[in-house]
Amino acid sequence: MKSFLLGLALLSILITACQKPAPDLTPKYEGQYQLQFSSHTDFDNTPVTATSTIKGSLLIVKNTDGTYTFTEKRPNSTERSYQVHLVGTKFEVPTQIESFEVSGVSYSPQFKGTGEFKTNSVTINRTSSFTAGSARVNSKWTSYGYR
C-alpha cells in the first residue's frame, strides 16, 4: 500500500511538472506604433478633403490601474499624452484642444474622439465643429496606428 501511494505521489508530481502553462490569450496592445494622419473638413457644408502624409509614432503603456497611457509624437507638433480606459477593444479619447493659425487668426477648437484596437493596429477618430469668421467648420481627423 505504501509503494502504491508513493507511486501515485510521484506520478502526480511528474504530471504537474510536465504540464505546460496555459497560454495568455489576453491581447497585448502595449508597444510602439507608426502613425498616419488624415483629415476631412467641410466649410458651410462644402467638403475639403486632405489626406496627410504626416507620419508620427504612438507609444502605448498599460498602467497598474488598468488604464492605458497613449503618447503621440508628430514631426510638426509637440508630444502629447493622455489616458484611456478600454471597454472591450474600444475607448474614448479625452477632449483635446488643437491650436492653429489661419491668415493671422488663431483658432483653438476642442476635439472629442473615440478609438478601437484591431489585431495589430489602432484607429483614433477625432471630431470638432467651430466657427471661423462667418463659416461653420466641421473637422474630422483620423489617426491610424500600425505595427
Q: How does pLDDT run across 72-127, given as a tens digit for each residue?
A: 998 777 788 999 999 999 999 999 998 877 778 888 999 999 999 998 999 999 99
Domain residues of the chain, as ranges? 30-146
Q: In angstroms, rounded to a whole number, what is the distance separating the alpha carbons of residues 83 and 67?
A: 7
Alpha-carbon separation of residue 122 from 8, 91, 118 (angstroms): 51, 11, 6
> Do residues 106 and 99 touch, judged by C-beta distance below 8 A?
yes
**Residue type present at position 94:** P
Task: Please name the helix (run of DSSP H) or strand (run of DSSP E) that holds residue 81, with its range, or none.
Answer: strand 80-84
Lowest mean per-residue pLDDT among 7-21, 44-58, 85-99, 101-115: 7-21
Q: In angstroms, rounded to a whole number, what is the distance separating the alpha carbons of residues 39 and 48?
A: 9
The closest of 132, 128, 134, 130 to 102, measured between CA atoms, is: 132
If phi > 0 it is left, if psi is from -120 to 50 it is alpha, else beta; for residue 44 that is left
Q: How does pLDDT run across 60-82, given as a tens digit for each residue?
A: 999 999 999 999 998 777 788 99
- pTM given for the model: 0.74
Q: Is the pLDDT of residue 132 over 80?
A: yes
SS3 assignment, position 109: coil
3.40.50, 2.40.128, 2.60.40, 1.10.1760: which CATH number matches 30-146?
Answer: 2.40.128
List, in sequence order, the alpha helices (H) in the chain. 2-18
Q: In angstroms, rounded to a whole number, what is the distance separating the alpha carbons of residues 147 and 143?
A: 13
